């Protein structure tokens, strides 16, 4: 039993039984008296548990200043491996952070994790130094916009924003009811109900030029509707009629592609000649074509013909632009 599991069980035993003797704790935890003393000190000194020894009861209990003699220990309860995983998650979020917004709100949790690991565990700071996360082509979001969107999302309020639609080089004013945040390929997006078009839209947070929080209550969209309309296609594109692409990768590329998830509903199989055939749904070919092109001459677009023609044209254009 790990230290975290032990201190959790000590707290649970005292809470459920009202008081527990030192000997009972030894038998329940199957540890030495010295280890039990260290665990009790850890509970009291580091986690602030109001544990007292009662001579008349010959056992440990919670102080009477706490209603019902019940006490919820601060923090979350995980074993050491789970705590280390949380530290890795914190590192990832910090690297994806926008002006320190996430790190600032997660700092209390990080400090609690450090306390729970204790002085006898691996130094958490050293652990974090051994992880490096590379985020190429990240599009930072101004912290004020990120916090405003999160505030609106959690408090179910509408946003009025000035938004740049890059594909048309147009700026427009919109009232949006936030539904959820999406993080895709180092970029943050907002799925929201656009009241100008009366439809679901996906907005890139880095394309917001101005935003303000409105007092108006946000329109709620059912989760099934949101998923059906926004998650059907490939990558970040959504909202159009879905079709399927069939891609054939040679044996070299198959070593990697066969282990990749391009879409939750994808279908894949190895063919008799060692190639890997992948079928993925998509609603807009831009992002899918980009991912196909990164495999160069190792992939063949089997279907549909329109996607194959687009990939061929982009390859031809690239050849002409880079011709000697």
Q: What is the spatial distance between Cα 180 and Cα 175, in angstroms, rounded to a whole number?
A: 15
For residue 82, pLDDT over 70 is answered with no
Which one is the CATH code of 143-221: 2.60.120, 2.40.50, 2.30.30, 3.30.70?
2.30.30
Average pLDDT, the chain: 84
What confidence category does residue 217 fall into, taking pLDDT thresholds of 50, 70 and 90?
very high
Residue in the structure block whose two tokens are 């995980």? 78
In terms of pLDDT, which residue wins out, 274 or 2? 274
For residue 85, pLDDT over 60 is answered with yes
Q: Summarize pLDDT for 262-292 with one digit per residue, the tens.
A: 998 999 999 999 999 999 999 888 899 999 9
Cα dihedral 307, 308, 313, 314 in deg (nearest 10): 70
Instruction: Kindly state the average pLDDT of the residues 241-255.
Output: 94
For residue 206, pLDDT over 60 is answered with yes
pLDDT (0 to 100) of residue 136: 73
pTM attached to this predicted model:
0.66
CATH of domain 3-69: 1.10.10.10
258's tokens: 């066969």
What confidence category does residue 109 fall into, taking pLDDT thresholds of 50, 70 and 90?
low
Q: What is the spatial distance between Cα 239 and Cα 251, in angstroms, rounded to a whole number?
A: 34
pLDDT (0 to 100) of residue 291: 94
Q: What is the spatial distance between Cα 40 and Cα 321, in angstroms, rounded to a whole number?
A: 71
pLDDT (0 to 100) of residue 111: 66
Cα dihedral 121, 122, 123, 127 in deg (nearest 10): -150
What confidence category does residue 67 fall into, taking pLDDT thresholds of 50, 70 and 90?
very low
Q: Summarize pLDDT for 69-79 with one digit per residue, the tens.
A: 444 554 445 55
pLDDT (0 to 100) of residue 119: 53
How far is CA 103 from each of CA 82, 139, 140, 173, rounded to the nearest angstrom?
A: 19, 18, 15, 31
Q: What is the CATH T-level fold of the domain 243-321, as seen in this structure?
A: Alpha-Beta Plaits (3.30.70)
Domain boundaries, the chain: 3-69, 80-129, 143-221, 243-321
């Amino acid at each position: 039993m790990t230290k975290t599991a032990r201190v959790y069980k000590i707290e649970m035993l005292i809470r459920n039984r009202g008081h527990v003797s030192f000997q009972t704790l030894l038998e329940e935890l199957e540890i030495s008296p010295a280890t039990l003393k260290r665990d009790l000190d850890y509970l009291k000194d580091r986690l602030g548990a109001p544990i007292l020894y009662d001579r008349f009861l010959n056992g440990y209990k919670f102080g009477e200043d706490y209603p019902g003699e019940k006490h919820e220990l601060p923090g979350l309860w995980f074993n050491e491996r789970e705590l280390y995983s949380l530290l890795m998650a914190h590192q990832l979020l910090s690297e994806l952070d926008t002006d320190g917004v996430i790190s600032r709100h997660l700092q209390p949790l990080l400090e609690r994790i450090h306390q729970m690991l204790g002085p006898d565990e691996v130094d958490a700071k050293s652990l974090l130094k051994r992880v490096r996360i590379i985020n190429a082509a990240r599009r930072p979001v101004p912290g004020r916009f990120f916090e405003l969107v999160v505030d609106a999302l959690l408090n179910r309020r509408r946003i009025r924003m000035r938004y740049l639609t890059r594909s048309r080089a147009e700026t427009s004013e919109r009232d949006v009811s936030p539904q959820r945040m999406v993080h895709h390929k180092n970029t943050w997006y907002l799925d929201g109900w656009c009241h100008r078009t009366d439809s679901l839209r996906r907005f890139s947070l880095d394309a917001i030029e101005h935003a303000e929080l409105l007092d108006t209550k946000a329109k709620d969209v059912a989760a099934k509707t949101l998923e059906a309309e926004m998650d059907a296609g490939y990558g970040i594109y959504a909202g159009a009629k879905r079709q399927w692409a069939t891609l054939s990768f040679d044996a070299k590329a198959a070593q990697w592609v066969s282990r990749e998830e391009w879409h939750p509903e994808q279908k894949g199989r190895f063919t008799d000649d060692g190639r890997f055939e992948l079928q993925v749904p998509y609603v807009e070919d831009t992002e899918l074509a980009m991912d196909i092109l990164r495999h160069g001459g190792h992939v063949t677009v089997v279907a549909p013909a329109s996607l194959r023609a687009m990939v061929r044209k982009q390859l031809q254009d690239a050849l002409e632009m880079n011709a000697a």
